[in-house]
Amino acid sequence: EPEVTQTPSHQVTQMGQEVILRCVPISNHLYFYWYRQILGQKVEFLVSFYNNEISEKSEIFDDQFSVERPDGSNFTLKIRSTKLEDSAMYFCASSEDRDPYEQYFGPGTRLTVT
């Protein structure tokens, strides 16, 4: 069964450093998403991406964040200058065109900012 994959599974970085989180969505899916979950808190939407552009973003997704689909398979989230409060699990998800709410999530990348 096709699945969303994410790398790395765990990333440790120092405050102020740039990080890139990588995702490979399911191949025939057209919508791509990033969510995050701070330890012990709810899953929060960050951004959705369709047709090579951001279709929706939350107020969390400020200028420090960017997304890119650099090729036909990868989808990345870049955090330009990490802060301690960016420490969280970051989940990538994808969905088909027929139902964007039927989203399939990857296993997540645990980002630790020290």
Contact positions vs another protein (CB under 8 A)? 4, 31, 33, 35, 42-45, 48, 50, 55-56, 58, 89, 91, 93, 95, 98-108
By beta-carbon proximity to another protein, the closer residue of 82 and 109 is: 109
Q: Please, what is the minimum distance in Å from the beta carbon of residue 3 to another protein?
A: 10
By beta-carbon proximity to another protein, the closer residue of 30 and 66 is: 30
Cα separation of 25 and 80, whole Å? 22
Question: 76 and 20 in contact (C-beta within 8 Å)?
Answer: yes
Q: What type of residue sits at position 9?
A: S
Question: 53 and 31 in contact (C-beta within 8 Å)?
Answer: no
